[in-house]
Structure 1
Amino acid sequence: MTDKQIQSITVIGAGQMGHQIAMLAALGGYETILQDVQEKALNAAKEKLDVILTKWVQKGKLSEDRKLAAFSRLQYTTDLEKAASGADLIIEAVVEKLDVKQEVFAKLEQLAPTETIFATNSSTIVNSLLSGVTNRPDKFINMHFFFPPLIMDCVEIVMSDQTSEETAKLAMEVTEKMNRTGVLLRKEISGFVANRILGALQREALYLYEEGIVDYKDIDLICRKALGHPVGPFELMDLSGIDVGYFVMQQRYNETGNPEDKPNACIEEKVNKGHLGRKTGKGWYDYPNQGVKNR
C-alpha cells in the first residue's frame, strides 16, 4: 500500500447528481472539475449551485467565505481530456445505462493517468461490469451518492473482487472529507443495500396500484402515516426521476432475465410520455413551478 492522497477530483456529468457531487468535493477542499458534453448543462449547474449555496449562507448554514472558497476550487469544462488528465479521482455520474458508462470509462482509460482511481456513482450497476473496459480493475470502485447529494448523508462504497484495499480506503477518506457517511460493502450485489430495500417496497407498491387494490396517493399516505416514511414510494419516484427508476429496472432485467425485474407497464407509460417527475413538472403528481428542494 502506498501513501497516495487524493488532491484533485473530476466529476463526469453535470446532471442532477453530478453537479452536487462536484460541489461536495469542492466544499471538502478538493480541486474539482465538473465535465459535461453540453455547455448548457454546465451553465445550468453553475446557476443551481449558486442558488443552493446562497440559500445556505442566508440561513447561516455556510459562511460567505466558505462559499466563495468552494466556488474558487470548482472548474467547468466540456473538454474530457482536460478534465481527466490531472485527476487523482474521477467520479462518473452519467445516465444509468451500462453501455453509456462503459463508453465513458473506455475513453477515460485513454486520457487519465495510470494511477487515477475510477469511481462510478451508479445506483445499481456493480463496478466489475465497467472495469473490464479499463486496465485498472484494482483502482475501480462504486461511490453511490444518494439524491440530492448535498442533502443526503450517505455514500455506499462498493468493492469488487479486484478492487484494492488502498482504493477502498481512499474512497472512504474522500467521503469523510466531503462530510458524508461512507458505508463499505466488500461484496458486490446489483442495487447494493438501500436500493434493494427501496426496490422491494416500490415493487409491492406498484403491484398494489396496478392490481387496483388502492390508489397511489393512498399508498403514499399509508407509508407516511403508518410507517413513518418522510415520503411515499410514488413521491420518491417523482423526486428521483421516474426515468432513473426505469433504467435501473431495465438494467436489472437485462442481467437476470427475470420477468419480475422488468419495468412495470405504468412506469414505461410515464417514461414514454415524458412524465418523469419533479424535473419535468409532472410524474405521479403535478409540480407547477416547483423543482427539487435543497434545504
Structure 2
Amino acid sequence: MKVEDIKQITVLGAGSMGHQIGMLSALGGFQTIIQDVQEGALVKAKESLEYQMNKWVKKGKISEEGKQEAFNRLSFTTSLEEAVVNTDFVIEAVVEKLDVKREVFQKLDQLAPPHAILATNSSTIVNSKIADVTNRPEKVCNMHFFFPPLVMDCVEVVKSEHTSEETAQLTMDVCEKMNRTGVLLNKEISGFVANRILGALTREAVKLYEEGYAEFEDIDLICKKALNHPIGPFALMDLSGIDVAYYVNQQRYAETGDPADKPATCIEEKVKAGTLGRKTGKGWYDYSTKSKVKQ
C-alpha cells in the first residue's frame, strides 16, 4: 500500500488532541471521520474547529474555500463500527491509559479492514504494549503529535520490532500530506525523545517547587528569561492538561516500579481537585480571571 491508496483516515477521540489531528487529516486531503463515544464531545470538537479555522481565514492562513473543502471531507460519529468499517488508517487519541488503549485496539482489529494501519497517538506508551491484542502487529505504530497539533510541526513515528518498514514509511508519508514533519524512531523507549527530555525538566522543576526553593511562577519565569523557553514547565502543564502528566507518570511507574517515576504529590492533589489547567479554568494558574500571570 502507498500513501495514494489511503483515502479515509479515522481519528478516535474528539478531545484536545483528536479533533485537531482530524482537521490536519482533512486539510491534507483525506476523507476523515472523528469518532468519540460522547456526542457532546463531538459537538464541542466541531465548534472548536469552526472557531479555529475561521481565525485561520481571518489571518490569511487558509482561504474560505479551502476551509469549506476541509470541512466537507470531515464527519463525526459516535459509532466505532461506522468510523472504521471502510477506513485505511486509524489514529487513536483516547485517554492515556494502557488498559483502555488495549481494549480499543482489540475492537479495532475486529472492525477495521485487514489492510488498515492502526496508529496510537500515545505520548509515552510504546505500541508493542498494545499491538499484541491485534492480529496485525506489523501494521501498528506510534504516531505522536504534539499539543496543539494545528500549531506544532512535529510527529514522532515510532517502530517496534514488529512494525513493518511499509507501515513506518506510510505513516511518515501521511505526516507529509498533513504538512507535518515526521521523525522516525527505529527503537521503542517509553516517552520517546521529546517527552523524555521535557519530563526530566518538569520533574526537576516540580522538585524545586515542592522543596521550597522557588514559587512555581518564578521557576516558569526563569525558564523563559534565562533558558529562552517560550513557556515555563508549569504553564505548559496547564496548557496540555495536568491530568495528562499524571497519567503519564502513573504509567511509567507501573512499568519501572521506581518511586522517582510516581506522580508528584502536588500533581496528584490537582488531579483529585479537578483543577487540570486551561481546560478547567484553573490549574497552576487561574484562567477564570483577566489578571496576568507572572511570566
Bin of the TM-score, shorter chain as denominator length: over 0.9
1:274/1:161 CA distance change after superposition, 3 Å:
same
1:160-186 alpha-carbon deviations (Å, 9 max, x no partner): 000000000000000000000000000
Question: 1:6–1:170: 8 Å Cα contact kept in structure 2?
Answer: no
Q: Within 5 Å, which residues of 2 pair with 1:14-33?
A: 14-33=14-33
Question: 1:209–1:215: 8 Å Cα contact kept in structure 2?
Answer: yes
1:42-62 alpha-carbon deviations (Å, 9 max, x no partner): 000110000000011011111
Q: Within 5 Å, which residues of 2 pair with 1:132-171?
A: 132-171=132-171
CA distance in 2, matches of 1:278, 1:252: 24
Structure 1 position 6, deviation (Å): 1.5
In the alignment, structure 1 residue 274 sits paired with structure 2 residue 274: yes
CA distance in 2, matches of 1:40, 1:275: 21
1:232-267 alpha-carbon deviations (Å, 9 max, x no partner): 000000000000000000000000000000000000
2:207: which partner in 1? 207
CA distance in 2, matches of 1:135, 1:3: 21
1:99: which partner in 2? 99
CA distance in 2, matches of 1:38, 1:218: 39
Structure 1 position 31, deviation (Å): 0.5
Query: Which runs of no fewer than 5 residues in structure 2 stay unpaired?
Result: 291-295
Q: In structure 2, what residue type is equivalent to 1:216?
A: F
- SS of the equivalent of 1:34 reads strand
In the alignment, structure 1 residue 181 sits paired with structure 2 residue 181: yes
Q: In structure 1, what residue type is equivalent to 2:280?
A: T
CA distance in 1, matches of 2:266, 2:21: 31
Structure 1 position 9, deviation (Å): 0.1
CA distance in 2, matches of 1:161, 1:105: 18
Question: 2:143–2:155: 8 Å Cα contact kept in structure 1?
Answer: yes
1:286: which partner in 2? 286
1:104/1:289 CA distance change after superposition, 3 Å:
farther
- SS of the equivalent of 1:94 reads coil
| TM-score, normalised relative to structure 2 | 0.97
- Over aligned residues, Cα RMSD in angstroms? 0.9
1:16-53 alpha-carbon deviations (Å, 9 max, x no partner): 00000000000000000000001110000110000000
CA distance in 1, matches of 2:84, 2:278: 32
Structure 1 position 3, deviation (Å): 4.3
The percentage of aligned residue pairs carrying the same residue is 69
1:130-161 alpha-carbon deviations (Å, 9 max, x no partner): 00110010000000000000000000000000
- SS of the equivalent of 2:156 reads strand
- SS of the equivalent of 2:118 reads strand
Runs (4 or more) in structure 1 with deviation over 6 Å come to none
Query: Which runs of no fewer than 5 residues in structure 1 stay unpaired?
Result: 291-295
In the alignment, structure 1 residue 112 sits paired with structure 2 residue 112: yes
Q: Within 5 Å, which residues of 2 pair with 1:200-279?
A: 200-279=200-279
Q: In structure 2, what residue type is equivalent to 1:21?
A: I
Q: In structure 2, what residue type is equivalent to 1:166?
A: E
Structure 1 position 289, deviation (Å): 6.7
| TM-score, normalised relative to structure 1 | 0.97
1:3/1:241 CA distance change after superposition, 3 Å:
closer
1:132/1:226 CA distance change after superposition, 3 Å:
same
- SS of the equivalent of 1:197 reads helix
Question: 2:2–2:170: 8 Å Cα contact kept in structure 1?
Answer: no
CA distance in 2, matches of 1:194, 1:3: 28
1:56-107 alpha-carbon deviations (Å, 9 max, x no partner): 1011111001000000000100111010111100000000000001111111
CA distance in 2, matches of 1:252, 1:3: 35
Q: In structure 2, what residue type is equivalent to 1:36?
A: D
- SS of the equivalent of 2:132 reads helix
